[in-house]
Structure 1
Amino acid sequence: MTWISGIQRVLDYIEENLDGDICYDEMTKLSGSGAYHLQRSFSLLTGMTLTEYIRQRRLTLAAGDLIRGMKVIDTALKYGYDSQDGFARAFARFHGILPSEVRDCSARLNACSPLHVNLILKGGSMMEYKIEHKPSMRLLGIRRRFDGAPFGTNRGEQEEKFFISTRASQWLLRGMASDSSDGSKDTDIAVVTDVNEDGYLFWYCSKPDGWTIEHLYDPAVTGIDFMDRFEFETLDIPEGNYAVFHTSHTKMPIDDYVSLREKIAAEWLPGSNYTLRNAPELAIYHWYQAPDNNKRYIEIWIPVEE
């Protein structure tokens, strides 16, 4: 549980320095792990990035100072904002009102309480997984930059907009890599890459053969000269070790997928000897059509190292 203790040290450090400078190098040192593992494990456990948590804690305390009569500019400077205007914008996004409106007795404020790490033993739940060394592979997909933490609270809205606006590209990707000639089974691949405190890249991919990828933009092969409008890009997944989990086989595996991800973050990772490796994370959706739709399942590939 060493890295769990490290996260608690990071949380204590943040709380002690909310009205001062918070150094990411110091947080990494206190965590006892690498910067990437700290960043990803924190977001897996909390659903937010370290930056989001620090901002929300500071804005929570700022509201209390304003209620007690502190000037807006002094409050802004206390919590690390260079200008009153920048502070006012951040305050309004979090609380829904301007700092100047806080002392109105009818004002309603939001609050982010300090986090504390508590491990609760829940006895005996089994999680099947394999540590597998996966070879490198090349995918074809479309991508968007998302804000916040992967699988955080604001992912759903961003994903919905992305999928609605890219339906034609999705259909083509699925068709290029169909697992069956009659369309009875398809495989979709969601990939998370380039994770940092500002957000991450979310990819929707498939795995066509090399010939298809090579000739994708050749009008003599495709019969069209506007393939570039579909925003396809190749994504190379490097070889490496992955902890591979999968949901049960069911008609609607999404609920199992959400539950499994929560268990990986809260139970498996803290109790394992592995840390998160800086590499893409994959979710592979195996879609069977009726009458075999009860065979559907989702794989989760978590990049790890000892």
Structure 2
Amino acid sequence: MIADLNMLIDLIESDLADSAGSAGAEGATGIDVERLSARLGTTEYHLRRMFSSLAGMPLSVYIRRRRMTVAAADVLAGHDLLGIAVRFGYGSTEAFGRAFRAVHGAGPSEIRRNGGPLRSQSTIRFRLTIEGSSSMDTRITDKPAFSLIGHAKRVPLIYEGENPHIREHIASLPADEHIRLKALSDAEPTGLLQVTADVDPDYREGTELTYLHGVAVSASASAPRDLDVIDVDAGAWAVFTTAGSYPEALQSTWAATASEWFPSNPWQLRPGPSIVAILDRADDFSTATTELWLPVERG
């Protein structure tokens, strides 16, 4: 996976140097991420998720920043702005100016007049460092199709710390509703679950996802009419068990799946919900033992 990501970076740099393509979802790059993923024997979904997890930014944001970093050199050199805009795939100086300002915080004319400020994006290079000082408690399990039922809400994606939107959603449920949900559980993962689904492929912070507070039931179970349902296909799951401060320990484990586990194992993410099961917790929820369930397939 590390080699695949570095090949993607090299293709982006080559494409920017040639100034090929047209402004689209990835900006002026002509990179076909889906085709590249197939060539590398992985999936676009996995490649994008691993990039955003390891780089700390979506692939689309990285490409836009690199594109505007390269464009800044032409702007400072005094080249015709329309020519620069066309070279980088924009149909007008206005469209180019908006994209330029979004990255640098100032328009091309201001940068040309004042020489700055410029916010350059260096070329990323991925490396795998094996520390060997700790191990991840992981198991792979195959599950038949099942359903997740409970109370769902659209919330923004937040990388670190507690998500207040999720906290408010859970707090809005009466105490006896949690008891009712737990009684409905009849499949793994057991107990009350924290489910995230419909996540943006680039994992951009602030984008909306579906959060479901509920339980797992067999595919044949009949869900009460007042509950939301997420149907889950049969397949393999990687289950990561962690214990410690909550939610920090869980979030660290989530990050380590991308930086340590996936690059070292013959598995890749497949589309599907991510599930957190709380196995044990302190009364004030300051610490907890959790299981993180991620849908996977062999790479």
Q: Identify the residue that residue 181 of structure 2 maps to in structure 1.
A: 177
Deviations 1:17-72 (A, max 9, x none): 02212231443245332222222222222232222221111012122221221233
Q: Does 1:283 align with 2:291?
A: no
Aligned partner of 1:141 in structure 2 is 151
Q: Secondary structure at the match of 1:247?
A: strand
Distance in 1 (alpha carbons) for counterparts of 2:69 and 2:178? 46
CA distance in 1, matches of 2:9, 2:278: 35
Give how far 1:208 is off.
8.0
Contact 2:146 2:232 (C-alpha < 8 Å) held by counterparts: yes
Distance 2:108 2:278 in 1: 46
Matches of 1:131 and 1:81 in 2, distance apart?
47
Which aligned pairs between 1:288-303 and structure 2 lie closer than 5 A?
A: 288=281, 290=283, 296-303=288-295
1:14 is matched with: 12
Q: What is the root-mean-square deviation in Å for CA atoms of aligned residues?
A: 3.3
- Looking at structure 2, the residues matched to 214 and 44 of structure 1 have their Cα atoms a distance apart, in angstroms, of 37
- One-letter identity of the residue aligned with 1:177: L
1:261 aligned to 2:254?
Answer: yes
Moved more, 232-241 or 59-68: 232-241
SS of structure 2 residue aligned to 1:284: strand
Aligned position for 2:27: none
Shift of 1:13: 0.5
CA spacing shift, 1:259–1:62, aligned 2, 3 Å: same
State the 1:255 CA deviation. 1.6
In structure 2, C-alpha distance between the alignment counterparts of 1:158 and 1:144, rounded to whole Å: 16
Letter paired with 1:193: D
Whether the 8 Å CA contact 2:45–2:270 is kept in 1: the answer is: yes
Where does structure 1 differ by over 4 angstroms across 4 or more consecutive aligned residues? 154-160, 164-176, 197-200, 208-211
Between the aligned partners of 1:171 and 1:76, the Cα distance in structure 2 is: 56
Matched, 1:236 2:240: no
Which residue among 184, 192, 201 is the counterpart of 1:196? 201
Q: Which moved more, 1:14-23 or 1:44-53?
A: 44-53
Distance, in Å, in 2 between the alignment partners of 1:271 and 1:260 is 15
Q: TM-score, normalised by structure 1?
A: 0.75
2:68 pairs with 1:59: yes
Larger mean CA deviation between 105-114 and 49-58 belongs to 105-114
Aligned residue pairs, count: 273
Compared CA separation, residues 289 and 118, structure 1 to 2 (3 A): closer
The residue matched to 2:124 in structure 1 has which SS? Answer: coil
Paired AA for residue 196 in structure 1: P
* Structure showing the higher helix proportion among its residues: 1
Identity of aligned residues (%): 27
Farther off after superposition, 279-288 or 47-56: 279-288
Does the residue aligned with 1:282 lie in a helix, a strand or coil?
strand
Q: In 2, are the aligned partners of 1:13 and 1:27 still within 8 Å (CA)?
A: no
Measured in 1, the distance between the counterparts of 2:212 and 2:237 equals: 19
Equivalent-residue separation in structure 2 for 1:100 and 1:283 (angstroms): 50
Which secondary structure does the structure 2 equivalent of 1:121 belong to?
Answer: coil
Contact 2:193 2:275 in 1 (8 A): no
8 Å CA contact 2:246, 2:287 repeated in 1: no
Closer, same or farther in 2 for the Cα pair 1:94/1:138, shift >3 Å? same
TM-score (norm 2): 0.77
Q: 2:147·2:230 contact (CA, 8 Å) conserved in 1?
A: yes
Distance 2:65 2:54 in 1: 17
Distance 2:40 2:174 in 1: 43
Q: Which residue of 1 aligns with 2:188?
A: none
Query: Amino acid of the residue matched to residue 2 of structure 2?
Result: I
Change (3 A) 1:54 1:145: farther
Cα distance, 1:90–1:130 mapped onto 2, change above 3 Å: same
Show the 5 A alignment for 1:91-110: 91-105=100-114, 107-110=116-119
Offset from partner CA, 1:90-138 (integer Å, 9 cap, x none): 2222222222211243732212111112122212421110101234333
Task: Work out which of the residue numbers 58, 72, 76 in structure 1 matches 2:81.
Answer: 72
